[in-house]
A and B are shown apart, each in its own frame.
Chain A
Amino acid sequence: MNWIDFHLPVLLILLPLMGGVISIFLKWEHIAWLWTTMISSLVFVGSGRLLYLLHQLQGLKTQDGLIPSHISYFIGSWPRQWGIELRIDPLNIIFILVVSLMFFIVTVYARRSIASEIPGDRIHFFYSIWMLAITGLLGILVTGDAFNIYVLLEISSLTIYTLIAMGKERDPRALTASFRYLIQGSIGASFILLGIGYLLMITGTLNLQDMREQLLLLDDFSRNRTVMVASAFLMVGLGLKMALFPLHFWLPNAYAYAPSAVSALLAATATKVGVYMFFRFVFTVLDAGHRIYFVSIRDLIMICAGSGVLICSLMAIYQQNIKKMLAYSSVAQVGYIVLGLALNNEAGIAGSLVHVINHALIKGGMFMAVGAVTYRCGANMLSDFRGLGRQMPWTMAAFTAGGFGLIGFPLTAGFVSKWYLIRGAVEAGAWPVTVVILIGSLLAVIYVWRIIETIYFVAPENPERSVQEAPLSMLLPTLLVIAASLYFGFDAMLTGSLAEQAARVMLSGGLP
């Protein structure tokens, strides 16, 4: 057990990487799926174990101040200056848990959905790429090395472009969506690379922790032009990756035309990893000098995020394609997350992190419900939802509960996020932010209303159309995720304490 515990951080990357490579040879779709499920469950158990280990360390810390509350793993036992360090701390453990949980659940869900949307001879390739994408995402989260982040970002991006393009059997527009994402994503990635390059130039190291220490030693840190340019490139590049308005143009189409399971996974994980990198670079690396690189552009970030919340919620109101509507709502939710981060106080950052968890559950669950509709009705336009309240009661109940979560209704997880965010905004005295959050939730009422009304109160166009409830293998994961989102609305002690702890770490300079 000790041996496994010791190597857990690297196993999180190695398991899906090896799993993905092996999956290429598993030509039988069920076996490929079973293999993926096994890998994903191992990854999930592993990340749960990591959380436990981290907590034990923190338990020790209260008795003896010397033990650090993060887990470091040095690949090949090379010291961090030369080798690669993997590092688990209260911030990334949240993201690791979210990604591995959704990876596991969506994989379970994917079997029938994918079988109906992708030709049988390509399914094992699909699962292979699926796992490689997760390798990239988890890798970004665990690594403590800037260049590693870039490489793994490329791995995850390339695989995600492929995953989106695989939706072409159902809708050929998936190809253009994927291509447009490829162009924008690559530019984002190259901006990030430029940013990392400038930082390397000035600090001579790629290790994030080291980078930070070297930056602190600079005399003219707050006026250094190189660092300034680096931070600008990083902000814009990461903005593209996490779909911060107005850099979100790739997202709606990509989510709308990807295979259902891919949309669910991406909505829950991909932009979240972008948010994580933003956190990492802003708070851990550029922290020194009282975050001058953040504070001076905070207003701009807030304006971007705030207008993202408002404009994209409005756009969601006008969508006929439900996946696209959810995608626009995702951009709006990224706006909330970034607003919380930009508030720069404990409640705001905790709100932002809680919302990362909650939104992953809510939006993942809703995309899964839409996927079930696609599976049964063959399409996911608003008109297809007519009368489904009777025909697919459980799926629609899940979708409705998710919709309430998006509004931020009490007793759903969305409320907890809203609670923290408003609290942070009020504490910071940022009234415009409070108003934006409140108006945003009213706009969410409108776009959720449209669908719920259609589901329950509009008679189907073709009354003879018989639609069955989604198969259990799709229904159960959906219900599980939505139930979790409801549970975290009742009892937010777990998510709240994780987020608050991470927020404290971030505010004290990214050092646990």
Chain B
Amino acid sequence: MRIDFPPGFLLFLTAALIALFGRNRKITGIIAVTGTLLTLAAVLSGIRYGLGELTFQFVGDPQTGEPLRLNLLQQNAPTSLFAAIFALMAFGGVLYSLHKNSRVELSGALFYAGSALCAVYAGDLVTLFICWELMAVGSTLVVLVGGQKHSRNSAMRYALVHFGGGVCFMAGITLYLVQGGSAALDSNPLSSVLVSYLSELNSLSSWLILIGVLINAGAPPFGAWLPDAYPEASETGMVFLSAFTTKTAVYVLMMLFAGAEILIYTGMVMAVYGIVYAILENDMRRILAYSIINQVGFMVCGIGIGSELALSGTAAHAFAHIIYKALLLMSAGSVLTMTGKRKCTDLGGLYQTMPVTMVCGIIGALAISAAPLTSGFTTKSMITSAAGFEAANTASAGSVYVLAWYVLTAASAGVFLHAGIKFPWFVFFQKDSGLRPPDPPINMKAAMVFFSGLCVLFGVWTEPVYSLLPFPPMEAHGDGVQTYNAWTVTHVLDQLQLLVASGVAFFLLLPLLKRTLTVTLDFDYIYRKCIPMFWHKVCIPLYSSYTGLVRGVFSEAERLKNQLTRISVKPDASGHQIMRAVINHDWPVGRIMTLVTLLLFLYLFLLFLKSG
């Protein structure tokens, strides 16, 4: 059946129904499972039978007089793949959280998933932006109800960063429209005027849009929100969070910036940055959070390369990544649920009592390391191959593609190090922590087994993924082109060499990698600590010294002292208390009138000055 509405609407409806009627676990579960399955069906039927049209007028355009039309339903090149995995992920996430009644979290998460799903069907920049902002709300809600120690503050910072990115994005779009651009998105990013304009990056609008999107993609230095906020979500919430925000950013980058060279560098930095921090990290969920940045780095790099194969590889990798990252987080979440501990130093030896979690965790770890027979292998190699192909075809030997190829290959080894071995080793094996938790509830096991199955399935049977790719995965081979094949002897051997070498390295370096109780500093330190510190240590003392100055100059010490005591701040009051007291202190009318008079003179003076 042809689909005449964005499938994301079904998720909105599900979220609303849960919010209204989700009185207990059973009702919530039934609504959520039905809703997500219907969404999946709608997405698949949209892929099979095509999409209808849905546009409506939003607001007039002061420049042209033509109303701005929002296009909610457009089949873009990467839409099918992203829509399919988003819908699948929504179902998987719901399955994983069935054991508890998470009415608020689940409605937030499904709203969030719905807006991400709407974003990939958007046919113009404004619709895209609207979905973008809706996502920020849903995901903030998921972090907010995370129930961890710092969830609330983290959620606040998360919201501010994302709305900050949103306004950046919006300013960029407006500027682009004012300069005469059209809001419509071209369904094929490689032949789009918009993409070629934006990816040149020689206008302010393209930079603003790029920064806005990169904030969501988690690129340093804007990406510190990710490891700050995600681990503060609940174990079920983080499974949702890991899938949508960064991958929607990848989708948007693909639709707007395919082939922008700066993305190759950004991607390489992300890939390396994620690995370094993940290796230093002790909290198992923060390790996985950093590894999201690392993986998204691969995708951003692929978008920067911008060939058909690279874009296909990126999309396929996003598809595979969502599955195995969710799987890893599910396994980490099961451990957290059953033990209540999240630090590697506190865990270990869990293989004895949590076999299902352990096996699924290892499958996820193998997939993220791109071991053959897992989904990671068939997708990631496409990006590296694209880099290698472009490198071979570029005249200059020191080209960025060569560098990209080296960095990506090295990063693949690094991934195996931090996520492939480190996570399962420290959590399930290593020293015995003495913990003997059982395997998690049945629904969590089911979700893990389901996603492990998908990891292996798409590792051996690539047809379904490849058929949804934005471009047919063609590879130059000898004189002609042929369909991309991950299963060549060289690919398999390369990857196995890489895995074995880094596996050996891990165990040789084990004493150095032993996790200690450390806290790593990231860019979020700036806004978490420095800005409040600036406010309390600089702004407020300045204000107080200003009042002191006034006191001295006008020698009205007694009167002002009375006034200040009316403000009545205790000597040890905190910055907030001082601000509150100062703000709520009403100015005397005389002072206000002086101000009014001054302003009048200022107006007159300016008028006099200008009129000459």
A187 to B589, CA, bound (A): 11
B612 in the interface, Cβ–Cβ < 8 Å?
yes
Q: Does A115 contact B (CB under 8 A)?
A: no
Query: Are A350 and B583 closer than 8 Å at their CB atoms?
Result: no
The listed residue (B57, B62, B177, B580) touching A493 by CB distance below 8 A is: B57
Within 8 A of B (CB), among A335-370: 346-347, 350
Q: Which residues of A contact B133 (CB under 8 A)?
A: 409-410
Whether A446 contacts B160 by the Cβ 8 Å rule is yes
Any chain A CB within 8 A of the CB of B521?
no
Question: Which of the residues A246, A419, A422 comes within 8 Å of B59, measured between beta carbons?
Answer: A419
Which residue of chain A is the closest to B577 with respect to CB atoms? A318
Is B175's CB within 8 Å of the partner chain A?
yes
Q: Residue A380 at the B interface, CB < 8 A?
A: no
Cβ of A253: which chain B residues have Cβ within 8 Å of it?
Answer: 586
Find the B residue at minimum CB distance from A350: B62
Q: Mark A180-224, 1 if CB is under 8 A from B, else 0.
A: 100110010001000000000000000000000000000000110
Q: How far is the CB of A343 from chain B (nearest CB, A)?
A: 12
Cross-chain contact B67 with A180 (CB below 8 angstroms): no
Residue in B160, B163, B611 whose beta carbon sits within 8 Å of that of A228 in the complex = B611
A492 interface hit (Cβ, 8 Å): yes
CB pair A442–B164 under 8 Å, yes or no, is yes
Stretch in contact with the other chain, from A81-89, A103-111, A290-298: A290-298
Whether B160 pairs with A445 at a CB distance below 8 angstroms is yes
**Do B583 and A315 touch (CB < 8 A)?**
yes
Query: Which B residues are CB-close (under 8 A) to A426?
Result: 171, 174-175, 178
**Are B593 and A441 closer than 8 Å at their CB atoms?**
no
Does A511 sit within 8 A of B, measured CB to CB?
A: no
Chain A, range 463-512, C-beta contacts under 8 Å to B: 490-493, 496-497, 500, 503
Any B CB within 8 A of the CB of A394: no
Residues A236 and B129 in contact in the complex (CB < 8 Å), given A222-B611, A296-B607, A500-B62: no
Contact B134 A318 (CB under 8 A): no
Report the interface size for chain B: residues with CB under 8 A from the other chain: 53
Beta-carbon contact of B610 and A296 below 8 Å: yes
Residues in B with CB closer than 8 Å to A246 are 595, 599
CA of A493 to CA of B583, assembled, Å: 40
Nearest residue, chain A, Cβ from B605: A232
Q: Quick one: which of B129, B163, B178, B589 contacts A183, CB cutoff 8 A? A: B589
Complex Cα–Cα for A453 and B156 (A): 10
Q: Provide the B556-584 mask, 1 if CB < 8 A to any CB of A, else 0.
A: 00000000000000000000100110011
B62 contact from A346, A422, A457, Cβ within 8 A = A346
Complex contacts, B373 vs chain A, CB 8 Å: none
Instruction: Answer whether residue B550 sits at the interface, using C-beta atoms and an 8 A cutoff.
Output: no
Contact (Cβ within 8 A) A496 B159 = no
Distance between Cα atoms of A493 and B65 in the complex (Å)? 11
B57 to chain A, nearest CB (A): 6
Question: Do B599 and A239 have beta carbons less than 8 Å apart?
Answer: yes
B604: chain A residues at CB < 8 Å are: 228-229, 232
Query: In the bound complex, do residue A411 and residue B603 qualify as a contact, i.e. CB atoms below 8 Å apart?
Result: no
- For B62, the chain A residues whose CB sits under 8 A away are 346-347, 350, 420, 423, 500, 503
Query: Which residue from chain A places its CB closest to the CB of B145 in the assembled complex?
Result: A457
Smallest CB-CB separation from B587: which chain A residue? A249
- On whether the beta carbons of B606 and A449 are closer than 8 Å, the reply is no
- Known contacts A438-B171, A441-B167; decide if A223 and B611 are in contact (CB<8 Å): yes
Please tell me if the beta carbons of A453 and B611 are within 8 angstroms of each other in the complex. Answer: no
Residue A407 CB within 8 A of the other chain:
yes
Report, as a range, how many residues of chain A touch the other chain. Answer: 35 or more
B596 touches A187 (CB 8 A): yes
Contact present for B174 and A423 (CB under 8 Å)? yes
In chain B, what residue has the closest Cβ to A345?
Answer: B62
Q: Which residues of A contact B174 (CB under 8 A)?
A: 419, 422-423, 426
Instruction: State whether A184 touches B592 (Cβ < 8 A).
Output: yes
- Shortest B346–chain A CB gap in Å is 28
A233 interfacial by beta-carbon distance below 8 Å:
yes
Which residues 292-328 of A sit at the B interface, judged by CB distance below 8 A?
Answer: 292-293, 295-297, 300, 315, 318-320
Indicate whether B30 reaches chain A with its CB closer than 8 angstroms.
no
Q: Residues of B contacting A500 with CB < 8 Å?
A: 60, 62
Per the 8 Å Cβ criterion, residues 223-268 of B in contact with A are: none
Closest-CB distance, A127 to chain B (whole angstroms):
30
> What is the bound-complex CA distance between A426 and B57, given in angstroms?
23
Q: State whether the Cβ of A235 lies closer than 8 Å to any Cβ in chain B.
A: yes
A449-B156, A457-B145 known; A491-B177 Cβ under 8 A = no
* A350 vs B63: C-alpha distance when bound (angstroms): 12
B152 at the interface (CB under 8 A from A): yes
Contact pick for A236, options B63, B168, B603, B611, CB 8 Å: B603
A490 CA to B56 CA in the complex, in Å? 10
Say yes or no: A441 contacts B600, CB within 8 Å.
no
Task: Looking at the assembled complex, report how far the CB atom of B50 sits from the nearest CB atom of chain A, in whole angstroms.
Answer: 27
The verdict on A445 contacting B163 (CB below 8 Å), with A249-B592, A426-B178 known, is yes
Contacts of A5 in B (CB 8 A): none
Bound-state Cα–Cα, A438 to B170, Å: 9
What 0/1 pattern do residues 403 to 424 of A give for CB contact below 8 A with B?
0000101110000101110110
- Select A320's contact among B580, B589, B596, beta carbons within 8 Å: B580
Q: Chain A residues with Cβ under 8 A from B156's Cβ?
A: 446, 449
Please, how many angstroms separate the alpha-carbon atoms of A418 and B168 in the complex?
13
A240 at the interface (CB under 8 A from B): yes
Known A292-B610, A457-B145, A493-B59: A233·B170 in contact at CB below 8 Å = no
Knowing A223-B612, A300-B606, A457-B152, say if A236 contacts B600 (CB, 8 Å): yes
Tell me if A43 counts as interface (CB < 8 A to partner B): no
Q: How many Å from the CB of A495 to the closest CB on chain B? A: 9
Q: B599: which A residues are within 8 A, CB to CB?
A: 236, 239, 246-247
Task: Please measure, in the bound complex, the distance between the C-alpha atom of A461 and the C-alpha atom of B587, giving whole angstroms.
Answer: 33
Interface string of B120-150 (1 = CB under 8 A from A): 0000000001100110010000001100000
A426 to B173 alpha-carbon distance, docked (Å): 11
Closest A residue, CB atoms, query B136: A409
The answer to whether B595 touches A407 (Cβ under 8 A) is: no
Bound: A231/B168 CA distance, A: 38
Q: Is the CB of A416 within 8 A of B596?
A: no
B179 to A, closest residue via Cβ: A426
User: How far in angstroms is the closest Cβ of chain A from B381?
Assistant: 39
Contact B163 A407 (CB under 8 A): yes
Contact residues in A for B608 (Cβ distance below 8 Å): 228
Q: What is the CB-to-nearest-CB distance from B500 to chain A, in angstroms, rounded to a whole number? A: 50
Residue B602 lies at the interface, judged by CB distance under 8 Å to chain A: yes
Give 1 or 0 for each of B4-48: 1 = CB within 8 Å of chain A CB.
000000000000000000000000000000000000000000000
Q: Which of A430-476 contact B (CB under 8 A)?
A: 434, 438, 441-442, 445-446, 449, 453, 457
B49 interfacial contact with A, CB 8 Å:
no
Pairs A-B, 10 closest by C-beta atoms:
A296-B610, A410-B130, A492-B59, A438-B167, A232-B603, A347-B62, A496-B60, A410-B133, A232-B604, A236-B600
Q: List 25 A-B contacts (CB under 8 A).
A: A184-B592, A184-B593, A223-B612, A236-B599, A236-B603, A247-B595, A247-B599, A292-B611, A296-B606, A296-B610, A297-B610, A318-B576, A319-B583, A319-B584, A347-B62, A410-B130, A410-B133, A423-B177, A441-B163, A442-B164, A446-B160, A449-B156, A449-B159, A492-B59, A492-B60
Q: A-contacting residues of B (Cβ < 8 Å)?
A: 56-60, 62-63, 67, 129-130, 133-134, 137, 144-145, 152, 156, 159-160, 163-164, 167-168, 170-171, 174-175, 177-178, 576, 579-580, 583-584, 586-587, 589, 592-593, 595-596, 599-600, 602-604, 606-612
Known: A347-B62, A500-B60. 16 other contacts (CB 8 A): A223-B611, A228-B607, A229-B604, A247-B595, A292-B610, A295-B610, A297-B607, A347-B63, A350-B62, A418-B170, A420-B59, A423-B62, A426-B178, A438-B170, A449-B156, A493-B58
